[in-house]
Amino acid sequence: MIRTAEQYIESLRTLKTRVYMFGEKIDNWVDHPIIRPSINCVAATYELANDPMYEDLMTATSSLTGKKINRFTHLHQSTDDLIKKVKMQRLLGQKTASCFQRCVGMDAFNAVFSTTYEIDEACGTHYHENFRKFLTFIQDEDLVVDGAMTDPKGDRSKAPHAQADPDMFVHVVEQREDGIVVCGAKCHQTGSINSHWHIFMPTISMGEADKDWAVSFACPTDTEGLYMIYGRQSCDTRKLENAPIDLGNEKYGGQEALVVLDHVFIPNEYIFMNGEYQFAGMMVERFAGYHRQSYGGCKVGVGDVVIGATALAAEYNGADKASAVKDKLIEMTHLNETLYCCGIACSSQGAPTKAGNYQIDLLLANVCKQNVTRFPYEIVRLAEDIAGGLMVTMPAQKDFESDTVVGRNGETIGEICNKFFKTKENVPTEYRQRILRFLENMCLGAAAVGYRTESMHGAGSPQAQRIMIARQGNLEHKKELAKAIAGIPE
């Protein structure tokens, strides 16, 4: 089954998801003006999957059932699948200029699938079969699943078991014959509110003393004891003003939330790790690798739109022929395509796991994300440079539309704004408004959460990638190469 965008949106209305914002419970969160753009973004993953033009990228054949499925629920079966994933993410970034929120679930599917196989192999457990049944259900129903990894962490200098408050990491508080009871929270959860289910995973490697925190499981988003507190974004209340031009991107947006687990019961069939602390690090590294690969697609697609908007701003300003502007656009393109090269490279060098699904090259995936922590910042800097200061000093849409008289000859505020912010003769002032507001949104506003700032912290901080690069870099092998050529004996 591949749902339509409309079916996806209607399916959310059947959930009893508990959402809080600005200190209050939001009952009709599906139609809330601050939340709805992020729902539209997820809906685009369904819309494009039903478009014959994008069928090859957006759909796949399930390795579990042989049925046609949405690629966001797929287990990668080849390097071609890994490459198509990146191309799909770039396409959606181009179509939405935002975060479409299903990548974390897709990356969790592939990480948990291979890790549970190896846990069962070593420990004689049945987690892998649990997960296969769960994912078959998700594929058949074409559901959105949030991949939840990031714990609050509390005092970063202390392991989970040593925290003053044990809830700083998700943990098991009761072992029952029919399942477990868990408490804790996950932070910065992209698309959590818009998801049908959640997969929870450990966030760090763990020792034996952390057994109760070494847990992975799935549960419905509206399960009893689970609730979410919506994360604020810059300029988010503009969505309440009925001024779409000031939004920059009226239709699409991203979202993050704090997901709280208050004594949530998890049946045995949905448990994928329960105390096997030796495998916590494996699950973390595999998920992080897949998710760092993702940034070589989604951020590149959004970058394409930022570059296009910057070129339009230059054109509307009458500065598009200047050699300095042309050179800056070339640099933006160079940086963006370099990110894409990394995403394609780590995909093309992938290899099968013991479970049979394909994993990216971990070293190159971490190099990919390390570049993402830097290049979008330079792309945004150059965009702001070319766009000019009006991007952040322009009056509101209501000023441009105002009929309040202020001029000596009866001119209105709207007429004054349209007069003084006019540029080239064949360019309506509204076009300039729209493109500058869009760039403001991408560089500084709500969309910056999903482009600029998320480029830094999403899928782990820059230092997390550097740690993995150090592990994967094989420095001893490089030393041996140098010794051989320099004539230094072993």
Write out the two tokens for 454: 């998320």
Active-site position among 256, 276, 384, 440 = 256
Q: For residues 295 and 205, is the Cβ–Cβ distance under 8 A?
A: no
Tell me if residue 99 is catalytic: yes
How many Å apart are CA 93 and CA 301, to the nearest integer?
4
Angle formed at CA 338 by CA 337 and CA 343, multiple of 5 degrees? 90
Tell me if residue 401 is catalytic: no
Question: Which H/E stretch holds residue 287?
Answer: helix 280-317
Write out the two tokens for 208: 């034996």
Active-site position among 203, 291, 353, 358 = 291
Write out the two tokens for 259: 């997901």
Rounded to the nearest angstrom, the gap between the alpha carbon of residue 190 and the centroid of all alpha carbons in its chain is 6
Tell me if residue 41 is catalytic: no
Tell me if residue 295 is catalytic: yes
Active-site position among 183, 219, 298, 417 = 298
Q: Angle at which helices 280-317 and 429-443 pack, to 10 degrees? A: 160
Active-site position among 295, 316, 358, 451 = 295
Q: For residues 192 and 148, is the Cβ–Cβ distance under 8 A?
A: yes
Long-range contacts formed by 316-320: CB under 8 A, 24+ apart: 316/423, 316/424, 316/427, 316/431, 316/432, 316/435, 317/388, 317/423, 317/424, 317/432, 318/423, 318/424, 319/386
How many Å apart are CA 99 and CA 85, to the nearest integer?
15
How many Å apart are CA 170 and CA 186, to the nearest integer?
8
Active-site position among 45, 190, 203, 353 = 190
Tell me if residue 346 is catalytic: no
Q: What are phi and psi of 149, to 5 degrees?
A: -120, -40
DSSP 226: E
How many Å apart are CA 487 and CA 339, to the nearest integer?
38
How many Å apart are CA 284 and CA 297, to the nearest integer?
21
Residues 6+ apart with CB under 8 A from 159: 206, 207, 209, 210
Would you please indicate which residues are annotated as catalytic (active-site) residues? Answer: 99, 103, 190, 256, 291, 295, 298, 454
